[in-house]
Amino acid sequence: MQRRMVEFIRALRAAGVRISLAESQDAMFGVDETGIGDSAAFKSVMKATLVKNHRHQPVFDYFFPLFFTNNRPPMENILEQLSEEQEALLQEAMQSLMGNLEALRDLLQRLLEGREFSDEELQQLGDNSGLSQGDEMYMRPWFERRLQRQAGLTQLERMLDDLLETLADMGMSDEALAELEELLRQNMAGLNEQISQHVGASLAEQMAQQEPRERPDLLDVPLQRLSGGDIEDIREEVRRLAARLRTRAALRQKRAKSGKFDPRRTVRKNMRYGGVPMETQFRKRHKKPSLILICDLSTSMRYAVEFLLTLVYELSDQVRRTHSFVFIHDLVDVSTTLTELPPREAVARIMAGNPPGYYSTDLGNSLNSFNRDHMHLIDSRSTILFFGDGRNNYNDPRLDITQDMQRKARRLIWFCPESRRQWGTGDSDMWEYSMYADNVLMVNSLRQLADAVDRILADG
């Protein structure tokens, strides 16, 4: 058991949970006191000694059953619950559907008898599917699908409906069919669950055998690769970045309070004094930018937009005014929410009020809504900031509106998370949009996002 506990602790470390040697010893001592007879007490002792942060509790709960529970789901012997006549109909239906497909017929027989996969069979399925090469838990769904196909469950799932339909044609009663279907689906779920647990346990054990990897600086991790635990850390980092950028922006304001000395205008102004510089002239001091944000809130961009909105509104004292919009299939004005609530609470409400769903990104339609309802917000001092990948699901990109917005504004800037080699691929209209942008900045990490925002503030 101690060896199993050590592997569990190593797996948690590999998943990003910080556990010291002293905390590992505390877990061992705690289990020595409570024993392993009471599973609930055993789990509580392990969690109390190993988990210090509430964000790591789901990680603990995910890995614990992979190491310390019996992963064999309950299954029913269906044949024992059928009458002789029903069993005869079933065998005849199986023969008519599958003919000489011995492997598939054997699998269906296993399903009917409620026989689980043995450890040797699961090991063989894993070897055939390359499971031993997996070393990260994000691979679990992919390997599950591979093992299910290797075992024939995917093909068998498609045949169950045909089997039930054949039995109905052969005269089996509706009540018997409904009961048989329920039992078959239950056993099918049991076999799928057994494969899922085997894959999860194998990956967890293989993670435990690795040396803990040095975690990269979260500021440089691509936003689309952030895990659930990283998101919370990033939210804390955003506040620290905002404080840093605010200090930098305030220093620029202080230095530019009276403006920068302008020698050319000074010489011209003092020509009447024979060139003696009696009256010094200064360049116009730094002005705070006036922003219009238009952000793509589709699934691929959600976290990035959350961080941008939080960062901009944490820096609201360094911005003259801000109008903010988000879009998926149409434009939504979120300016009021952001001005009435604290930044984190406001952004959380916007995310909840605009959830991802089964609808396509349509920037062209969103631009049409902006043109109809909000074009009056743009003036010669406005900086329009688009944040998105320019993917438009083959809809009309409305480049005419983008051109009109650039003409009316001081400048139009894109923050794009995709590199230039991805522009124009698939449904990307980014090359076309870039023609009507004064600048396009690559923003694919929190560091790049903070640098881009700082450039906007610096050139107010």
Q: What is the band of 211 on the pLDDT scale with cuts at 50, 70, 90? A: low
Write out pLDDT tens, residues 113-148.
778 888 888 888 888 888 888 878 888 888 888 888
pTM beyond 0.85, yes or no: no
Q: What is the band of 100 on the pLDDT scale with cuts at 50, 70, 90? A: very low
pLDDT value of position 243:
79
Nearest to 428 by CA among 417, 439, 437: 417
Name the more confident of 286 and 438.
438
Write out pLDDT tens, residues 352-397.
888 876 557 889 999 999 999 999 999 988 999 999 889 888 899 9
- Tokens at residue 16, please? 């990003």
pLDDT of 419 above 80: yes
In sequence order, the 6+-apart residues with CB closer than 8 A to the CB of 163 are 93, 94, 97, 108
pLDDT of 338 above 60: yes
Separation between Cα atoms, residue 229 and residue 19, nearest integer Å: 15
Q: What is the band of 189 on the pLDDT scale with cuts at 50, 70, 90? A: confident
Q: What is the band of 434 on the pLDDT scale with cuts at 50, 70, 90? A: very high
Question: Is 393 in contact with 360 (CB distance < 8 Å)?
Answer: yes
Angle at 209 between CA 208 and CA 215, to 5 degrees: 65
- Locate tokens 């605009």: which residue? 354
pLDDT value of position 312:
84
4 three-class SS: helix
Write out pLDDT tens, residues 106-122.
777 777 777 888 888 88
36 three-class SS: coil
Q: What is the band of 294 on the pLDDT scale with cuts at 50, 70, 90? A: very high
Q: DSSP per residue over 266-307, as a string?
A: HHHHTGGGTT---S--BPPPP---EEEEEEE-SGGGHHHHHH
Max mean pLDDT range (36-40, 195-199, 228-232, 430-434): 430-434
Max mean pLDDT range (15-29, 71-85, 403-417): 403-417
Name the more confident of 74 and 418.
418
Write out pLDDT tens, residues 221-245.
787 777 666 677 777 778 788 777 7
Q: What secondary structure, in 3-state letters, does 110-179 show?
A: HHHHCCCCCHHHHHHHHHHHCHHHCCCHHHHHHHHHHHHHHHCHHHHHHHHHHHHHHHHHCCCCHHHHHH
* Residue 214 DSSP code: P
pLDDT value of position 214:
62
pLDDT value of position 368:
94
Q: What is the band of 73 on the pLDDT scale with cuts at 50, 70, 90? A: low
pLDDT of 98 above 60: no
pLDDT of 39 above 70: yes
Q: For 24-28, 55-59, 216-220, which range has the lowest pLDDT when averaged over its residues?
A: 216-220
pLDDT value of position 436:
93
